[in-house]
Amino acid sequence: MNHKLELQHITKTYITEEGEMTALDGVNLEVKPAEFLCIIGPSGCGKTTLLRMVAGLDHPTSGTIILDGKEVKCASPDRGMVFQEFSLFPWRKVLKNVEFGLEISGMRDKERQAIAEKYIALVGLQGFENHYPYELSGGMKQRVAIARALATEPSILLMDEPFGSVDAQTRNILQEELLEIWARTKKTILFVTHSVDEAVYLADRVAVMSARPACLVKCLAVDIPRPRKRTSAEANEFRAKLLMWLSLERSKACVTV
Amino acid sequence: MRLPTKEKWVWLVPLIILIILWQFIAVYVVKKPEILPSVTAVIFSFYELRNYILPDILVSLLHFAMGMTSAFAVALPLAIAMGWYDTVFKAVDPIVELIRPIPPLAWVPLAIAWFSLTHFAAGFIIFIGAFFPILIASYTGFRDVPKVLVETGKVLGCIGNRKLIRYVAIPYALPSIATGTRVGMGVAWMCVVAAEMFGVSKYGLGCRIFTKFFPWHQMDYVVAYMLILGLVALCIDRVFRHFVEGKLFKWKKGIVK
């Protein structure tokens, strides 16, 4: 058992006015320690739901999620989460935002400040400790969110399209920085995205989800050596492969809708 | 560079014109001090009433403080409960909406019956006046807490409602609470005067106007006290804005200078 995270037969059904609707239909997934795994799939396929389940913010109808050998039941700081929306506490300065989780855990002022400063430096925001979130750009906000998620030293980092609301150039920079952070902290990262480019650039493995009712159709290892070039022939080839799988899934979705 | 200093005093011009106009109309057009007292008569009344003004202000402020603090102390916990727990909201909201439209002054007979002519009776009317603005603005603040901030709180270790309320909901709702309090203070001040006028109390600015000055048609005294009422309310509002809005809400974009 050298899996960091295991999802076993995860199903999720919602009860709607038209009756039961199955969103996730028996998803199985294993994530290795220090692995960077991207989940990609057609929109509305439930990839965010899956990630939220790992975070403990949503609960599977059946199936179990096992992290470090223990079953996940509810939210806890041992899983860091970065949301797509800007999620900084607007009344807290950058430093206090990063300190939040440590403050809740009851850590002393000085200790938590030292840790927070370390992570602010890690995301390259030294000098912005005393800025309020509204004074930051979108990319900076997400950097703070990453620092905040890492500050409690979670065993896994969950990212839900974290760069979805920043512009394309910032997004590229943030991706590079994330890879650096990943290399330095050796965190396991579960990263949900709808961008093929992002998945190919970042991931060790890409898990492709099918259209609703979703299950994992394929796990593809991205065997492109790092540091990667976005425009290399291998990257293009992989992108083509991934796009093919996705369009296959999309066409199925059209048939069922 | 000359313009700013000029603009700084621009408000004096209409004010002086208004005072001159008032004096002119009172002395040369109306000519009846019981209809419109002159400016000079009003200014002279301040001098004549110098021994009454301060005690009356203090009594009215006492009523105001009693009503405001009790309204705040009751409204805030109720607002937290109504804003955070939907069941409480659904259960209590109809009662709130039933009692809210009753004008505070309609409570005067009951106030006298319950507390007789004490400070508590006046405080009660002010309580009724201030309670609803504080309650409604505050629970709206709590209901509006963005889901993503609540979830961020959960992921970072806020386990249970108490921690979420303390670390996420209250800081988020503070500006709404402050706005409600400010509106509540305005209503409360109106109620101070009205309650005292209606004989709920034997002292206070409102009581003096209605039972001591008005029966003798001493309009110069009445106007002098009216000006005091306005100035005191202005001071309360300024002090509140300075300490609460200026200091607490730097994080709110727009308020920051």
pLDDT surpasses 90 at B5: no
What is the C-alpha separation between A124 and A145, in angstroms, rounded? 12
The DSSP secondary structure of A212-251, one letter per residue, reads: SSB-EEEEEE--PPSSP-TTSHHHHHHHHHHHHHHHHHHH
Residue ranges of A 223-252 with Cβ closer than 8 A to chain B? none
Tell me how many degrees the CA angle B249-B254-B256 measures, rounded to the nearest 5. Answer: 50
Say if residues B194 and B186 touch (Cβ distance below 8 Å). Answer: no
What is the C-alpha separation between A169 and A8, in angstroms, rounded? 37
Q: Rounded to a whole number, what is the distance in Å from the CA of B167 to chain A's nearest CA?
A: 8
- Return the CATH number at A187: 3.40.50.300
A150 located within any domain: no
pLDDT surpasses 60 at B1: no
Residues of B in contact with A83 (CB under 8 A): 148, 151-152
B20 located within any domain: no
With an 8 Å Cβ cutoff, are B157 and A89 in contact?
Answer: no
Tell me how many degrees the CA angle A61-A67-A70 measures, rounded to the nearest 5. Answer: 85
Tell me A81's DSSP state.
E
Q: A15 pairs with which residues across the strands?
A: A20
Tell me, what's the pLDDT at B196? Answer: 87
With an 8 Å Cβ cutoff, are A91 and B253 in contact?
Answer: no
Name the residue type at position B257.
K
With an 8 Å Cβ cutoff, are B155 and A57 in contact?
Answer: yes
Q: A152 pairs with which residues across the strands?
A: none
- Return the CATH number at B150: 1.10.3720.10
pLDDT band at residue A198 under the 50/70/90 scheme: very high
Tell me, what's the pLDDT at B117? Answer: 83
Range scoring the smallest mean pLDDT among A38-52, B134-148, B150-164: A38-52
| Residue range of the domain that includes A169 | 5-86+158-256
Residue ranges of B 141-180 with Cβ closer than 8 A to chain A? 146, 148-149, 151-159, 163, 167-168, 171-172, 174
Q: Please tell me the total count of domains within chain B.
A: 1
Say if residues A79 and B142 touch (Cβ distance below 8 Å). Answer: no
- Whether cis (ω within 30° of 0) applies to the bond prior to B4 is no
What is the pairing mode between strands A5-16 and A62-67? antiparallel
With an 8 Å Cβ cutoff, are B157 and A76 in contact?
Answer: yes
B62 located within any domain: yes
What is the C-alpha separation between B229 and B192, in angstroms, rounded? 10
For chain A, how far is it from start to end, CA to CA, in angstroms? 40
Residue partners of A145: CB distance under 8 A and separation at least 6: A82, A83, A86, A87, A88, A162
What is the C-alpha separation between A80 and A75, in angstroms, rounded? 10
Q: Which residue from B232, B254, B188 is spatially nearest to B245, judged by alpha carbons?
A: B254
Residues of B in contact with A153 (CB under 8 A): none
Q: Please tell me the total count of domains within chain A.
A: 1
Tell me, what's the pLDDT at A257? Answer: 41
Q: Which residue from A82, A84, A91, A104 is spatially nearest to B141, judged by alpha carbons?
A: A91
Average pLDDT value over all residues in chain A:
90
A29 located within any domain: yes
**B36's tokens:** 């419109």
With an 8 Å Cβ cutoff, are A104 and B167 in contact?
Answer: yes
pLDDT surpasses 80 at A103: yes
For tokens 């969950």, name the residue.
Answer: A158
A20 located within any domain: yes
ipTM (interface pTM): 0.91
Tell me, what's the pLDDT at B255? Answer: 46
Q: Strand ranges (DSSP E) for chain A?
A: 5-16, 19-31, 36-40, 62-67, 70-71, 79-82, 156-160, 188-193, 205-209, 216-221
Residues of B in contact with A134 (CB under 8 A): 251, 253
Locate the chain B residue with the closest alpha carbon to A54. B155
Say if residues A162 and A114 touch (Cβ distance below 8 Å). Answer: no
Average pLDDT value over all residues in chain B:
90
Mutation site, A93, A104, A144, interface B, largest B CB count within 10 A: A104
Around A202, how many Cα atoms within 13 Å sit in the side-chain half-sphere? 36
Residue partners of A27: CB distance under 8 A and separation at least 6: A7, A9, A10, A11, A50, A63, A209, A214, A215, A216
Tell me A210's DSSP state.
P
From the list B155, B168, B251, the residue facing A77 with the nearest CB is: B155
With an 8 Å Cβ cutoff, are A100 and B171 in contact?
Answer: no
Q: Phi-psi region for residue A127, left (φ > 0), alpha (ψ -120 to 50) or beta?
A: left
The DSSP secondary structure of A46-74, one letter per residue, reads: SHHHHHHHHHTSS--SEEEEEETTEE--S
Q: Phi-psi region for residue B94, left (φ > 0), alpha (ψ -120 to 50) or beta?
A: alpha
Range scoring the smallest mean pLDDT among A246-255, B6-15, B35-44, B151-160: A246-255
Tell me, what's the pLDDT at B169? Answer: 96
Give pLDDT tens digits for B189-234.
Answer: 999 988 888 777 777 899 898 888 888 888 999 999 999 999 999 9
Is A76 near chain B, with CB under 8 Å?
yes
Helix or strand run (H / E) with residue B86: helix B86-99
From the list B151, B172, B253, the residue facing A57 with the nearest CB is: B151
Tell me, what's the pLDDT at B256? Answer: 42
For tokens 């001098």, name the residue.
Answer: B47
pLDDT band at residue A32 under the 50/70/90 scheme: very high
Range scoring the smallest mean pLDDT among A236-245, B116-125, B196-205: B196-205
Residue ranges of A 87-146 with Cβ closer than 8 A to chain B? 87, 89-92, 100-101, 103-105, 132-134
Tell me, what's the pLDDT at A254? Answer: 53
pLDDT surpasses 60 at B9: yes
Give pLDDT tens digits for A1-10.
Answer: 578 999 999 9
pLDDT surpasses 80 at B3: no
| Residue range of the domain that includes B224 | 37-248
Query: In Å, what is the CA distance from B152 to each residue of A68, A90, B156?
Result: 22, 12, 6
Tell me how many degrees the CA angle B176-B182-B185 measures, rounded to the nearest 5. Answer: 140
Mean pLDDT of B65-86: 96
Range scoring the smallest mean pLDDT among A252-256, B121-125, B151-155: A252-256
pLDDT surpasses 60 at B55: yes
pLDDT surpasses 50 at B257: no
B256 located within any domain: no
For tokens 């994530």, name the residue.
Answer: A31
Give pLDDT tens digits for A150-197.
Answer: 999 999 999 999 998 899 999 999 999 999 999 999 999 999 998 999
Q: Which residue from A170, A179, A169 is spatially nearest to A199, judged by alpha carbons?
A: A179
B193 located within any domain: yes
What is the C-alpha R_g of chain A? 19
Is A80 near chain B, with CB under 8 Å?
yes
B254 located within any domain: no
